[in-house]
Amino acid sequence: MNISTKAIVSNSEMIKNYKSCREKAESLGKIFVLKNNQPDAVLIPISDYERLSVFIEYIESLEEKDIVKIMHALSDKIGKEELSVDNLTNDIK
């Protein structure tokens, strides 16, 4: 994963300038927060969090064999074409 330096903020900057960090996360999609020069947290817009939560709940409801199918479908698709829920759903049926 490549991380733009524009998407990195320090913990102290987050504390001092939360509003500007939140706006940066909204415009960039996410920002990475460092504490003592180590990754500490990721700030994402609430809309992205809600989408991720639904996805995580769905994955947690699956049986292990279905998760394995999804992982295989993902590994086959990475770098080959645009990933989409529809493509993955078709591949695991």
pLDDT at residue 6, as a whole number: 92
Q: Where are the domains of the chain?
A: 5-45, 47-92
Distances (CA, A) of 19 to 25, 33, 81, 84: 10, 14, 37, 32
pTM for the predicted model, two decimal places = 0.64
Q: What is the pLDDT along the chain (93 residues), one digit of tens a residue?
A: 678 889 999 999 999 999 999 999 999 999 999 999 999 999 999 999 999 899 888 888 888 888 888 778 777 767 665 556 565 555 555
Spatial distance between the Cα atoms of 7 and 80, rounded to a whole number of angstroms: 27
pLDDT at residue 87, as a whole number: 58
Architecture of domain 5-45: 3-Layer(aba) Sandwich (3.40)
